[in-house]
Amino acid sequence: MKVRDVMTREVVTARPEMRLRDLALLLSEHRISGMPVIDGLGAVLGVVSEADILAKERGHTAVHGNGLGWLFGERATRDELRQQAATTVGAAMTTPAICIDEDRSLREAAALMLDRGINRLPVTANGLLVGILTRADLVRAYIRRDDEAREAIREQVMRKTMWLDPDEISVEVREGIARVAGTVDRRSTATILERLIRLVDGVDLVESDLHWELDDSEALPPDEKDREPGAASLLARERPRSLRG
């Protein structure tokens, strides 16, 4: 699943010349905590958030509450001074913005958010803003991802690839872990099924409680025991198109 599949396409944006007071009203009106700042073409210039407004207010309080702070070593960084003096979005925004391309994976987006400690990512295509991705979007996506993975296992893997009745085998996917249980005809069938399930987009781990009526592993030559009948040709092929995300 890609970023474009779950991002919000209708994005509330700000322009660099917008006053901070107008930004505060916009954030409150849309009940959001931040937004991208774009130019006239749609390129992302930066990101502005409630934190930038709070930095402005903090600077205002420090100046009026302790005018002699500079005498006692209370020094602000250059960025803090810039934000404290800001009256427009362009002066207060965080730049450069951390963005992600719409074709990147959700795993990459999640890692980027965690590594950078941010809650939202402007999404770009060809350098222009096309959406926004939030942590809430990722949470909803992983829930949907589990449901889609379970459906793919039942229909694409079991019914169409293995010719098994999915109603006779229990399948559950939660947080990327696929749990499969039931009885199949052969041990080789169970092995192939487990391996194919691992190829399904959205499956990170397979926990199997499959049983079989016939253990056909002893029928193989010693150097072939890790490759059950039919498994070699099936697993050596490129990942089946029907299993791709």
SS3 content of the chain, % helix, strand, coil (to 5): 45, 25, 30
CB of 129 closer than 8 Å to CB of 123: yes
Q: Which two tokens stand for residue 236?
A: 């050596």
- pLDDT, position 62: 46
Burial readout 33-57 (b: 16 or more C-beta within 10 A, e: otherwise)? ebbbbbeeebbbbbbbbeebbebbe
Q: Coil, strand, or helix at residue 96? A: coil
The answer regarding whether domain 162-243 maps to CATH 3.30.1340 reads yes
Tokens 């959205």 identify what position?
202
Q: What is the reported pTM?
A: 0.59
The single-letter code of the amino acid at 142 is Y
Provide CATH code, domain 3-139. 3.10.580.10
Helices (H), the chain: 3-6, 20-30, 50-65, 78-85, 89-92, 106-116, 135-152, 187-198, 231-235
Cα–Cα distance for residue pair 24/28, rounded to 1 Å? 6
Residue-level pLDDT at 236: 42
Mean pLDDT by 10-residue block, N- to C-terminus, for the chain (245 residues)? 90 93 91 92 92 66 47 52 72 91 92 92 95 91 85 95 95 92 95 95 91 84 51 43 49
The domain ranges of the chain are 3-139, 162-243
93-109 confidence digits (pLDDT tens): 888 999 999 999 888 99
Q: Which runs of consecutive H residues, i.e. helices, occur in 117-225?
A: 135-152, 187-198
- Per residue in 56-96, pLDDT (tens digit) is 665 544 444 445 444 444 445 566 565 566 688 888 888 89
Q: How far apart are CA 145 and CA 44, in angstroms?
A: 29
